[in-house]
Amino acid sequence: MSFPYKKALIIGATSGIGKALAIKFVENGTKVVIAGRRKENLDEFAQEYGSEMVDSRVFDVMKLEQQIPSFATEITTAHPDLDFIFVNSGIQRPFDFSKPSSVDLDIFDTELITNYTSAVHLTRAFLPHLQNKFTQTALAYTTSQMALVPMMRCPNYGASKAALHHFILALRTQVVAGPGDVKVLEIYPPAVQTELHDAKHQPDLKDGHLIGMPLGEFVDEVWGRLKGGEEQIAVGSAGKLYNAFEVKRQELYRDMTEMLTGLLKMFLR
């Protein structure tokens, strides 16, 4: 199967998974709009792959009300053929609540907004564009194996990705009843060798960028499964967790949704 989408917006494309997938898209004929905070990285990518295939926008997901609505309008006006939106921005920070005074709540809030709240705002901003198209479209999100099982070292990262995972499950169910043909995709990485674990962000880790699955190996698998039409792509150790219990948990979610939907019909006008 070929990738069914013609133009992708990749938010969080200046490095790591976002950049690597953007390269895959371009090399396989899908035009991209790349967005992120680091202009120099965006410019380098656009220069390498050319303006025919790449547009770029400097964008900070932390600016929720100040920038996201206008960003969505700007992008969809410039690219009315946009049919795939990939929300990939994410940061990971350690917190030790056994030493409460060491916990920087400003950093904690920044991580939560980056990993979860901004994704909700972006969904609300871009969904009308996707719903108004006559062809299949998609919203894709990067969560984590820690959306399924938390890690003691990074309690907020796991919690933020679990929140996004639950949001995605509900969103996928809701958009079926709405206009258009919007697919909701979720990519669950294991630990992957990116700057997420760099000393710049987690200085107590030695050679943190070497932790996990090689980036190229990860992206090759994700790309193949995206082309295969999968909506939930759990890779490596994330796949083992997904198969161990998440399949059953989602069956329970669907059963509960069906039951609650029936009950609500009795009380809603």
Q: Concatenate the DSSP letters of all residues of 201-222 into one string.
A: T-TTSTTGGGSSB-HHHHHHHH
Euclidean distance between the first and the last CA atom of the chain, given in angstroms as a whole number: 44
| Per-residue pLDDT at 66 | 81
The alpha carbon dihedral of 33, 39, 42, 45 has a sign of positive
What would the pLDDT profile of 37-49 be if each residue is shown by its tens digit? Answer: 999 999 999 999 9
Q: Which residues contact 195 (CB under 8 A, 6 or more apart)?
A: 15, 16, 201, 209
Type and span of the H or E element at 243: none
Other C-beta atoms lying within 10 Å of the C-beta of residue 82: 22
In this structure, what token pair is assigned to residue 116? 């979860």
| Per-residue pLDDT at 195 | 65
pTM of the model: 0.92
Q: What is the mean pLDDT of the chain?
A: 93
Which domains does the chain show, CATH number per domain? 7-265 (3.40.50.720)
Do residues 113 and 62 lie in contact, with contact meaning Cβ atoms separated by under 8 Å?
yes
Do residues 39 and 13 lie in contact, with contact meaning Cβ atoms separated by under 8 Å?
no
- The candidate with the shortest Cα–Cα distance to 192, out of 83, 94, 92, is 92
b/e for 50-69, b at 16 or more Cβ within 10 A?
eeebbbbbebbbeebeebbe
Find tokens 């994704």 and name the residue.
119
Give 137's strand partners.
Answer: 182
Per-residue pLDDT of the chain (269 residues; tens, 9 = 90+): 789 999 999 999 999 999 999 999 999 999 999 999 999 999 999 999 999 999 999 999 999 988 999 999 999 999 999 999 999 999 999 999 999 999 999 999 999 999 999 999 999 999 999 999 999 999 999 999 999 999 999 999 999 999 999 999 999 999 999 999 999 999 999 999 876 555 565 566 665 566 789 999 999 999 999 999 999 999 999 999 999 999 999 999 999 999 998 888 877 76
Give pairs for 38-42: CB < 8 Å, separation 24+. Answer: 38/14, 41/14, 41/15, 42/13, 42/14
Q: Which residues contact 69 (CB under 8 A, 6 or more apart)?
A: 125
| Per-residue pLDDT at 266 | 79
| Per-residue pLDDT at 210 | 60
| Per-residue pLDDT at 261 | 86
What would the pLDDT profile of 196-244 be if each residue is shown by its tens digit? Answer: 555 565 566 665 566 789 999 999 999 999 999 999 999 999 999 999 9
